[in-house]
Every structure is written in C-alpha cells, then in structure tokens.
C-alpha cells in the first residue's frame, strides 16, 4: 500500500454497537500490523452528544473487550497515538444544515492529517437512515473528488433493502449520488478467510475442478447454524427473519462462490461478473416450488443443558403471535450447463444445537459397487466438507479397506485444519474488508446488480408468506436441528443432511470435522 496516501474514515452511527464492537477493534488490529496509512484519522458521527475524549474512552473500552488479541496488543505509545486519531462530531443526521458543520470539521481534519481529501464514509446506522445520509452528503458535494487523485468511497452495511423493490429503490438513490465504483456494499461473510478459501481451493488446484459439475456431483449442501437465539435483537429480527437475515446475502454468496465458473482473472470485475451469472441462473421458484421446497420454522421453548430457554414468541420485542421464521431450509436448482439437475440444499437457523457453517459437496457414488456384499451396508458416497466456522478446515471422506481378510470397507476422512497452516491468527472479517476498501479493492463487496438478482430470487418466497400467512410455520424446540420436515427435502433415500459436530463437548467450542 502507498502509505503516503492518507484518508479519513467517517463513521455514521459511531455511537452504536457495530462501531465499538467491530469497526474500531478491526482498525486497531490493522494499526498493529502497520497496515494503516500514516495519515489516517476517524471521524465518528452521531446524534449522541460526545466530545473526542469521551468517544476515545468508549472506543478504548471496546478495544479492550472485543479485540481478538486482548488487551489491545499495541504498545502503549502506539495505543495513545491510535486513540488520539479518533474524533467525533455530534450532528442531527437527518438535518441537511448540520452537514455544513460536518464538512467544515472534515476540512479541518484533512488539513491536520494531510489526507488529500480522501474520505471513506461508513453507514453504520439503521438502514432507514441510508437514503437521507447519502442525499445530504450529495447536497454538500461530499461525494465529489475535488482534489486531483483524491477519492470518496462509501460502505453500506447490510441489510441492503428489505425486498426486491426496496433494494432497487435504494440502489437507484445511491447511484444518483455516488458512482458504482465508489459504492462498497458489505457482506461480512465474504470477509472470512475460509469463505475466500473456497476460491483458492477450487481454482488453485487441478484435482477438484474436473469433478466440479453435474457429472460427478450428486448434490450440494450448505448449513449455517447458530446456537444462540435472537438475544437482544428481537425488535430488528422480528421484522427481518432468517430468509432476509441469512439466506438473501450470506448463504447465496457462498453458493455463488461454490457454483461460479472460473473467472478469467482474479480482479474484482471478473469475479463479480461470474457470481452475478450464478444468481441470474437460479431457477425462479414457483408457488408450488415454494410450498414443497422451502421449509420455515420457529423455535419454541425448551430446556438446553438444564437451562430453560424461551420460545421465540416470548423473546423481548417479538410479537406474541409472530410468524417470523427463525429457521429456513430450502432446495433449489441452478439452470446452467454445469449444474443442470444438481439440487442445492441450504439451511440456516437460530437455537440449533451448535454454531457451525459448512459446505458439503456430495459426490455421486461409484457406478458399479463392488464391495457392498462384504461390507453388509451400502457405501456412502464421497463427500468434501468445507468448514467455514468454527474449526475451519477441509475434510475429504472416502472408503478404505479394513485390514484383514475380505474387502470390508470403512469410511475414513482426510482432514486439514486451518490452524495447522500457520500460527498466524485468522483476521476478523471487518479487518480484511476495511483494508480492501481503503485499497480500493471491491472484490469481496456485493455489486448492485448482484444484490438485486438475489432479491429477485428470494422475493417470491417473501410474497407468498405475506399473501398466504397460513403457509406452514413449523415449531422446533430450541436446541434441536430444526423442523423434522426439513429432512424430507432431500429426496434421495441414501442421503440426509449432515449433522456436524456430533462430538462437540458441552464445555468446548472445538467442533471436529
């Protein structure tokens, strides 16, 4: 990085949870690794009254609580220097007049830090504020590159839209003020090392790609399970649900990385063009498809490890007869040459037995089974398990001969754990994404056309659930793997969902592949 090029990161919603929990600790980590430019400052923006000192103290507490290397690993003098670069201004974010003060303050900081008017705006407010903030930035010309070679960029937090219409509407409003190459729509899943490793696994090895298609793959499964419930986010979650919160963005992005064609180059344009093609090839869901192939569930009260857990409808700020789904499992197809007739199964849920995200590639069985008689049971097919979290790694399952007479076959695993690669810790997703944006690399951010394409796919489900509220919503006791009906989605007698981490112990997060 050219460290002589400075910047000011302007965070709207700086008094909120995301800033203190994720953004400032990520910046602190980047500072530790000397990855931030020398001329760097943060300007927090919010309605809450605070001076620089109070903001710095609040952020220091956040660093101590949330930084991956606790306590803040930077030396004391470096820590002081980092904190001294955090500034704050209180404005009414809805009031256009207040942006004149914001502009003045930015200009003063720009002179102080010599940042060449490079401004990175970060929208960390509730989504209903995005439009007004963007318009106000535009009307004060804070979107324009006024100095030669300077830049202005904007990061927009998820959710980007609430359905297809609102996403289109937001896109068109954003693009009236900023050009597409200034806009970075964040999906923090794409910042995870192991998600990026999907690309490396597929495209830096010669052995997988020849098998990566309908001729050899029977079906593909993606699971993202959370062990916690809605915690204190009931108010937000009850208006969102698992389909909007997890499937439209994180899970479909993972599907795109698994299913995309090899890009011509590793630059942002090539990779994002290929992921878009996957979204455009998703077979549209008819009403019958949705009724048969999309299962929604909601957790009910239960006892987990002796502890009484509330049902979703008893959580704070959740409607007492809420129909919001806390679980979704679905089956769909990608209509292109590579994936014709290969079913994709994805599921996500809250209050499932463990926290795990993984992709399972189920290969077709060998065409002629030689050893079934000896084994007594049919051989399961080969599986490649790509674990995103926790205990990140890759496992290949295949049959091996049991030593001794005859040909007894046993399933074994060849597994790689990311922790074996080096003792380097895995950077937090926000760390990677903030750095990429500072460097102007949009590869891991969603483009406007992709966001709209994923909403197009999801929209018919949202519509059907709204128009036909009687659509079945299955209850599942908190701490179980979701509604049993989800098992019947996989319509092959030899297959079920993989139930990972069976050996997880109560007092450990270690989840064996």
Ligand X SMILES: NC(=O)c1ccc[n+]([C@@H]2O[C@H](COP(=O)([O-])OP(=O)(O)OC[C@H]3O[C@@H](n4cnc5c(N)ncnc54)[C@H](OP(=O)(O)O)[C@@H]3O)[C@@H](O)[C@H]2O)c1
The verdict on 17 binding ligand X (CB under 6 A) reads yes
Cβ distance to ligand X smaller for residue 124 or 501? 124
Size of the site for ligand X (CB under 6 A): 18
Instruction: Give the binding range for ligand X (CB under 6 A) out of 11-19, 34-42, 197-205, 465-473.
Output: 11-19
User: Structure tokens of 76?
Assistant: 């004391």
Pick one of 9, 10, 13, 106: the residue that binds ligand X (CB under 6 A): 13
Find all residues with CB under 8 Å of 103, minimum gap 6, and list them. Answer: 140, 142
Q: What is the 3-state secondary structure (H, E, C) of 296-353?
A: EEEEECEEECCEEECCHHHCCCCCCCCCCCCEEEEEECECCCCCCCCCEEEEEECCCC
114-173: contacts with ligand X (CB under 6 A): 124-127, 129, 157-158
Cβ distance to ligand X smaller for residue 127 or 477? 127
Q: Which residue is nearest to ligand X (CB)?
A: 16
Work out how close the CB of 131 gets to ligand X at its nearest, in angstroms, rounded to a whole number. Answer: 12
**Which H or E element spans position 123?**
strand 119-123
Cβ distance to ligand X smaller for residue 47 or 408? 47
Work out how close the CB of 297 gets to ligand X at its nearest, in angstroms, rounded to a whole number. Answer: 23
Work out how close the CB of 234 gets to ligand X at its nearest, in angstroms, rounded to a whole number. Answer: 13
Strand 86-90's sheet: what is its strand order?
86-90, 40-46, 7-12, 119-123, 152-156, 183-185
Catalytic residue among 188, 219, 250, 351: 250
Cβ distance to ligand X smaller for residue 22 or 153? 22
343-382: contacts with ligand X (CB under 6 A): none
Contact assessment for residue 396 and residue 414, using Cβ atoms and an 8 Å cutoff = yes
The verdict on 15 binding ligand X (CB under 6 A) reads yes
Instruction: Give the binding range for ligand X (CB under 6 A) out of 10-18, 241-249, 372-380, 417-425.
Output: 10-18
Cβ distance to ligand X smaller for residue 126 or 262? 126
Work out how close the CB of 9 gets to ligand X at its nearest, in angstroms, rounded to a whole number. Answer: 15
Q: What is the DSSP letter of 54?
A: H
Distance between first and last Cα of the chain? 37
Contact assessment for residue 369 and residue 379, using Cβ atoms and an 8 Å cutoff = yes
Q: How far is CA 345 from CA 218, 261, 491, in A?
A: 11, 19, 11
Contact assessment for residue 338 and residue 213, using Cβ atoms and an 8 Å cutoff = yes
Angle at 485 between CA 284 and CA 298, to 5 degrees: 85
Work out how close the CB of 313 gets to ligand X at its nearest, in angstroms, rounded to a whole number. Answer: 22
The verdict on 245 binding ligand X (CB under 6 A) reads no
Any catalytic annotation for residue 250?
A: yes
The verdict on 47 binding ligand X (CB under 6 A) reads yes
C-alpha–C-alpha distance, residues 138 and 140, integer Å: 5
C-alpha–C-alpha distance, residues 400 and 429, integer Å: 38
Residue ranges of E strands in 318-454: 327-332, 344-349, 356-363, 383-389, 393-401, 409-417
Instruction: Give the binding range for ligand X (CB under 6 A) out of 12-20, 76-84, 189-197, 205-213.
Output: 12-20
Pick one of 39, 56, 93, 450: the residue that binds ligand X (CB under 6 A): 93
The verdict on 110 binding ligand X (CB under 6 A) reads no
Instruction: Give the binding range for ligand X (CB under 6 A) out of 46-54, 308-316, 474-482, 489-497.
Output: 46-54
C-alpha–C-alpha distance, residues 195 and 26, integer Å: 18
Residue 53 in 3-state DSSP?
helix
The verdict on 48 binding ligand X (CB under 6 A) reads yes
Work out how close the CB of 126 gets to ligand X at its nearest, in angstroms, rounded to a whole number. Answer: 5
Work out how close the CB of 482 gets to ligand X at its nearest, in angstroms, rounded to a whole number. Answer: 23
Strand 294-300's sheet: what is its strand order?
409-417, 393-401, 383-389, 356-363, 217-225, 344-349, 327-332, 294-300, 473-477
The verdict on 16 binding ligand X (CB under 6 A) reads yes
330-349: contacts with ligand X (CB under 6 A): none
Cβ distance to ligand X smaller for residue 132 or 489? 132
Work out how close the CB of 235 gets to ligand X at its nearest, in angstroms, rounded to a whole number. Answer: 9
Q: Annotated catalytic sites, by residue?
A: 250
Give the residues lining the site for ligand X (CB under 6 A). 13, 15-18, 21-22, 46-48, 93, 124-127, 129, 157-158
């Amino acid at each position: 990085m050219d460290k002589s090029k400075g910047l000011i990161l302007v965070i709207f919603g700086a008094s909120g949870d995301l800033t203190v929990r994720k953004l400032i600790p990520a910046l602190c980590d980047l500072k530790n690794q000397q990855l931030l430019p020398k001329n760097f400052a943060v300007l927090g923006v919010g309605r809450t009254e605070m001076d620089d000192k109070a903001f710095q103290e609040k952020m220091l507490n956040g660093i101590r609580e949330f930084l991956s290397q606790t306590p803040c690993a930077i030396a004391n003098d470096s820590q002081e220097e980092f904190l001294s670069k955090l500034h704050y201004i209180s404005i009414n974010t809805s009031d256009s007049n207040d942006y004149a003060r914001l502009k003045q303050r930015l200009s003063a900081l720009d002179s102080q830090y010599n940042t060449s008017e490079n401004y990175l705006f970060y929208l960390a407010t509730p989504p209903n504020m995005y439009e007004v903030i963007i318009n106000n930035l535009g009307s004060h010309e804070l979107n324009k590159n006024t100095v030669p070679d300077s830049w202005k960029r904007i990061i927009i937090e998820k959710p980007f839209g609430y359905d297809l219409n609102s996403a289109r509407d937001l896109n068109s409003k954003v693009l009236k003020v900023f050009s597409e190459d200034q806009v970075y729509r964040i999906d923090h899943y794409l910042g995870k090392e192991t998600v990026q490793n999907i690309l490396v696994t597929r495209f830096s090895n010669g052995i997988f790609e020849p098998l990566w298609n309908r001729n050899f793959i029977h079906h593909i499964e993606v699971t993202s399970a959370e062990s916690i419930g809605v915690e204190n986010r009931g108010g937000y979650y009850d208006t969102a649900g698992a389909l909007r919160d997890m499937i439209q963005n994180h899970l479909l992005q993972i599907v795109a990385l698994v299913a995309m064609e090899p890009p011509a180059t590793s630059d942002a344009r090539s990779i994002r063009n290929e992921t878009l093609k996957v979204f455009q090839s998703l077979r549209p869901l008819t009403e019958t498809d949705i009724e048969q192939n999309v299962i929604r569930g909601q957790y009910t009260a239960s006892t987990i490890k002796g502890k009484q857990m509330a049902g979703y409808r008893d959580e704070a700020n959740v409607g007492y007869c809420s129909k919001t789904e806390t679980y979704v499992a679905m089956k769909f197809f990608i209509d292109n040459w590579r994936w014709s007739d290969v079913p994709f199964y994805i599921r996500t849920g809250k209050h499932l037995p463990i926290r795990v995200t993984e992709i399972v590639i189920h290969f077709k069985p060998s065409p002629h089974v030689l050893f079934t008689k000896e084994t007594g049971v049919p051989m399961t097919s080969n599986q490649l398990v790509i674990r995103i979290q926790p205990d990140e790694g890759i496992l290949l399952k295949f049959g091996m001969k049991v030593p001794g007479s005859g040909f007894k076959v046993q399933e074994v695993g060849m597994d790689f754990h990311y922790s074996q690669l080096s003792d380097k810790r895995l950077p937090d997703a926000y760390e990677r994404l903030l750095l990429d944006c500072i460097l102007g690399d949009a590869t891991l951010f969603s483009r406007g056309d992709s966001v709209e394409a994923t909403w197009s796919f999801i929209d018919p489900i949202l519509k059907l659930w709204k128009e036909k509220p009687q659509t079945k919503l299955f209850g599942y006791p908190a701490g179980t793997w979701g509604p049993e009906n989800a098992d019947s989605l996989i319509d092959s007698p030899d297959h079920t969902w993989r139930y990972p981490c069976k050996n997880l112990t109560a007092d450990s997060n270690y989840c064996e592949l």
